[in-house]
Structure 1
């Protein structure tokens, strides 16, 4: 063991640094981690990218930051499409992914809008109710079940176990799995924004998630959230409460 590795272990045992630091310094990675990318996906192969993603890759390489890393590199393994509308996974399974994110964040506004879309693109009521009520996934088709399982595990435990990841990769393929996780991340962000500003349901809409309700006293009646609508004098475009993402 090299000197700096011995020092890292000693410091970890002494409590001076977290125990995981010694593992990271010693170069010991989980079995499903690629040593070059240091995540579960291999390094980007530029020749496998389509023209749009290749341009994004080249622009990153030419920038001061250099080759894309982190989330930017991970997303290059996906389809590179507008996920909600054009992902190869199909609208039905994309809406299932979005509903899973909305449910794990207990976000009724996001859920309500996407429940309508999910029904419109053919997602079965029985599957929607399984997500709504967090029921067991037994008897679901494999791809539908693994999408819900990935969303539940990732958003509720803030982790995705190696076994779950391996099954998802086998059932969905790399591109679709990257798109699923990217969609979960995007709509978790949307849900956090809606929750942070306490976005209420549109007038006349009924909340369809089984959540407790307390009447708020900080909601603007025009926007039905904690922020007022922007007046026509301050904006040149129509205000929307929920845009395309």
Structure 2
């Protein structure tokens, strides 16, 4: 069972003026008060706004297709054992066409047995980046050949923003949005 949420959503009546402004902008875009990683991030309203802006950019303007982007986000959630991030993005990945078998392999922490060439490229590049904090010359060349230099920048940025969100969520102990879908690894 998960530990209690350390940084739950702030009631709107308790917002500071800066929090109220940041929350109003968030609400205008998302139709809801800050939730998920944005609930704890609201403790630093400007950081929340900046992080949310980069997150939007990476989710809605990336050179990667939705399926590849969501698969990569799920890999980050698995790497950080982040239940909220997983619970949201596994559903997005399925909607984008990522196979259940591929997602189950990621959840188990293993390389999927069956992937398209594009899935294998992104899966392996993300796994390498998470494990080694860099890419080999071979991986870099493969990414540039398929996604250009834009991909060589955007893929690490995507991994970075979701790693940042996972760390915030883990520190805050934000609960999953539904059932926890990842087995907890020893911490």
TM-score scaled by length of structure 1: 0.49
Number of equivalent positions: 132
CA deviation map 1:50-81 (0-9, x unaligned): xxxxxxxxxxxxxxxxxxxxxxxxxxxxxxx8
Residues 143, 152 of structure 2: 8 Å contact kept: yes
RMSD (Å) for aligned C-alpha atoms: 2.2
**Relative contact order (alpha carbons < 8 A, sep ≥ 6): 1 or 2 greater?**
2
2:166 paired with 1:197: no
Q: Provide the residue aligned with 1:207 in structure 2.
A: 180
Residues 101, 112 of structure 2: 8 Å contact kept: no
Structure 1 or 2, whichever has the larger Rg, is 1
Q: Provide the residue aligned with 1:115 in structure 2.
A: 90
CA deviation map 1:169-210 (0-9, x unaligned): 2233322332221100110100010011121224xx211112
Q: Provide the residue aligned with 2:23 in structure 1.
A: none
User: Structure 2: which 5+ runs fail to align?
Assistant: 1-55
Residues 76, 163 of structure 2: 8 Å contact kept: yes
Q: Provide the residue aligned with 1:69 in structure 2.
A: none
Residues 58, 154 of structure 2: 8 Å contact kept: yes
User: Structure 1: which 5+ runs fail to align?
Assistant: 1-80, 215-245
Residues 104, 156 of structure 1: 8 Å contact kept: no
Q: Which runs of 4+ in 1 moved over 6 A?
A: none
Change in 2 beyond 3 A, CA 1:175/1:212: closer
Residues 142, 171 of structure 1: 8 Å contact kept: no
Q: Provide the residue aligned with 2:75 in structure 1.
A: 100
Per the TM alignment, residue 168 of structure 1 is displaced from its structure 2 partner at its CA by 2.2
